[in-house]
Chain A
């Protein structure tokens, strides 16, 4: 099962980083995985059990994902599971930890691809990995560029 984990230190306090990474409006700006939109579909504020609808571009094709929030502990942890192509299952987790230099943001995801996508993974995987890596650097730049 493919697994990604990246960590980055953002020169901002956890509250600021949390506010930015949990604002769905920012998701397409920060995602390196082709996310073109993410919105909450359940009523009320985000919490465990909330659902989100996402749209993603994979190799030029649009797919839909439904996310379920499984862990919500502001400003420390957010975890989701997702359904929808190209994934058979996807579990993502964000953790934030205050450090002397700001916030250590650790993003991990583990997924199982839809069988039709599995043969493509050896070719697409390195590309996705590079894009994700670039997106974490972009996330850091975006948050640090915000006026204090």
Chain B
């Protein structure tokens, strides 16, 4: 399963990156993430580990991951290391444009058979939430004081 979202945010790329690189901001997007935190010591970067909790249709689930790409302010990728999915990847890329910053958010999940069945039911809901979180991302960053 691969899902891609795009949005243009009317703010410089550095501001968009700073917002996205702070895991404390992720639940503010009001997607499915309840909480996210870094679990490795030191500043966040390549190799850092993260832990997250999500609520999907009222059911809580957790996942852990590691940052496998960290190229400020252009790209960040989190590879899921432990979750209900077999494997997963969350990649976000940023490109400066004349209007601000173009953001691509890509989620790739490889699901086992039981989760494929769950996905048939929950998938449309989850995609709607992801889309909403991308809209909220734009709104939150554009609302930041200049």
Chain A interface residues toward B at CB < 8 A? 25-29, 36-37, 39, 53, 55, 62
Query: A28 contacts B51, CB within 8 Å?
Result: no
Cα(A55)–Cα(B36), bound, Å: 13
**Residues in A neighbouring B100, C-beta threshold 8 A:** none
Q: Give A53 to B22 CA distance when docked, in angstroms.
A: 13
Sample (11) of A-B pairs whose CB atoms are under 8 Å apart? A25-B51, A25-B53, A29-B34, A29-B35, A29-B60, A36-B27, A36-B30, A37-B28, A39-B37, A55-B24, A62-B28
Q: Which residues of B contact A (CB under 8 A)?
A: 24, 27-28, 30, 34-35, 37, 51, 53, 60
The answer to whether B27 touches A28 (Cβ under 8 A) is: yes
| Contact (Cβ within 8 A) A37 B27 | yes
| In the complex, residue of chain A having the shortest beta-carbon distance to the beta carbon of B53 | A29
Q: Which 7 A-B pairs have the closest CB atoms?
A: A36-B27, A28-B34, A28-B35, A25-B35, A37-B27, A37-B24, A25-B37
**B contact residues around A62 at 8 Å (CB):** 28
Q: How far is the CB of A143 from chain B (nearest CB, A)?
A: 13
Q: Complex formed: what's the CA distance from A27 to B27 in Å?
A: 12
Assess whether B53 is in contact with A55, with CB atoms less than 8 Å apart.
no
> CA A29 – CA B55 in complex, angstroms?
9
Query: Contacts of A36 on B, CB cut-off 8 Å?
Result: 27-28, 30
> A37 — which chain B residues lie within 8 A by C-beta?
24, 27-28, 35
CB distance from B128 to the nearest CB of A (A): 18
What's the nearest-Cβ distance from chain B to residue A72, in Å?
Answer: 21
Q: Give, as a whole number of angstroms, the nearest-CB distance from A129 to chain B.
A: 21
**A26 CA / B34 CA spacing, docked (Å):** 9
Question: Which one of A37, A53, A55 has the highest number of Cβ atoms from chain B below 10 Å of its Cβ?
Answer: A37
Nearest CB on A from B119, distance (A): 23
CA distance A53 to B24 in the complex (A): 10
Distance between B129 CB and nearest chain A CB, rounded to angstroms? 14
Q: With CB as the reference atom, state the residue of chain B lying closest to A36.
A: B27
- Chain B residue nearest to A26 in the complex (CB): B35
Does A55 contact B28, Cβ atoms closer than 8 Å?
Answer: yes
Q: In the complex, which residues of chain A have a beta carbon less than 8 angstroms from the beta carbon of B24? A: 37, 39, 53, 55
A33 to chain B, nearest CB (A): 14
Least CB separation from A62: chain B residue: B28
Contacts of A39 in B (CB 8 A): 24, 37
Q: How far is the CA of A25 from the CA of B33 in the complex (A)?
A: 12
Most buried by B among A25, A39, A55: A25
